[in-house]
Amino acid sequence: MPKLSVVVPCYNEEESIPLFYPAVSKIIAQMPVDAEYWFIDDGSRDHSLMEMEKLHQKYPDEVHYVSFSRNFGKEAGLYAGLQAATGDYVVVMDVDLQDPPAMLPTMYKDLQSGEYDCVGTRRTDRTGEAKIKSFLSSQFYHVINHISETEIIPGARDYRMMTRQMLNAVLSMTEYNRFSKGIFSWVGFRTKYLDYHNVERVAGTTDWSMSKLFRYALDGIMDFSDAPLSIATWFGTLIAGLAFIALIVVVIRHIVSPNASAFGWASLICIILFMGGIQLLSIGIVGKYVGKTYMQAKHRPIYIIKTKK
């Protein structure tokens, strides 16, 4: 029988882990596959690791876990899980049951048909989420799809099942700054998207604050596009053009009425501040990319394992 690996990143999820396993294993038991679970303890400060150990004791052949030395972030957790997985198929799931396990058999069937290499999911609505959060995230998808060649599907979750072939392609991308939504799209292959209605967390709270989401969005844009780097060029060209026109106007005015008085102290200050702002912004953008290059150049490991069972 083919083997299905379930990869589950967890950070402070002691309440969700005991609910997750029975819900998912009940569904997988009805599928024609052998299952393997890889829980990733992303440096949790609660008893998540203990819950994983309990499951491992109970189902030693089926349930495995990797525990990090500290919190490395969900992207690192995903990568560790995908590396550990030995299955012919892999599915990535959040532990809070926001990714409905009932979709697993359909996803598997679509892969089995051979028509698709990956089945992803996307939320059609965002009930239970703040309006401003939904608005900002739709703006994010708008911007990133406009300036990046990698297509990022709006509302797509990390919940996806893929074949070993596609998994190997994902694993071959060893970049330090990992933006999974971009990586899954970048590797290509045929992906089908299933829609579903938003489900709220079973237990615990989300760890994603507004500022964390904002940073995540900026990182996503920078990891998959170099368009922000051209901002300086565009502004520079525009402002140089305007300055040239202004110069011609000043010269003509001087010829036509040599005694016209000069004025515009306030506007001068505005122009100087505006230019200063644009220059700092441009340097800042270049700085962000240099910083990312710097981190990549150090070749630090993406995560560090404390225990693995």
In the list Mg ion, ligand UDP, none, the entry touching 168 (Cβ below 5 to 8 angstroms by class) is none
CA 157 to chain centroid, in Å, comes to 9
Please choose, from the candidates 165, 142, 166, 168, the residue with its C-alpha nearest in 3D space to the C-alpha of residue 154: 142
| 101 interacts with ligand UDP by CB under 6 A | no
Q: Which of 15, 42, 75, 96 binds Mg ion (CB under 5 A)?
A: 96
Question: How many C-alpha atoms does 274 have within 13 Å on its Cβ side?
Answer: 9
| 25 interacts with Mg ion by CB under 5 A | no
In the list Mg ion, ligand UDP, none, the entry touching 224 (Cβ below 5 to 8 angstroms by class) is none
Whole-angstrom distance, CA of residue 193 vs CA of residue 36: 24
Bridge partners (DSSP) listed for residue 26: none
For residues 105, 111, 113, 114, the Cα torsion angle rounded to the nearest 10 degrees is: -170
Q: Which of 96, 104, 108, 166 binds ligand UDP (CB under 6 A)?
A: 96
DSSP of 236-252: HHHHHHHHHHHHHHHHH
| 207 interacts with ligand UDP by CB under 6 A | yes
In the list ligand UDP, Mg ion, none, the entry touching 42 (Cβ below 5 to 8 angstroms by class) is ligand UDP
Q: Which of 4, 10, 24, 28 binds ligand UDP (CB under 6 A)?
A: 10
| 14 interacts with ligand UDP by CB under 6 A | no
C-beta of 40: minimal distance to ligand UDP in Å? 6
Q: Which residue, 155 or 228, has its beta carbon nearer to ligand UDP?
A: 155
Choices 88-96, 144-152, 280-288, 289-297; region in contact with ligand UDP by CB under 6 A = 88-96
Is residue 305 a contact partner of residue 80, using CB atoms and an 8 Å limit? yes
Whole-angstrom distance, CA of residue 251 vs CA of residue 23: 78
Choices 1-9, 22-30, 92-100, 223-231; region in contact with Mg ion by CB under 5 A = 92-100
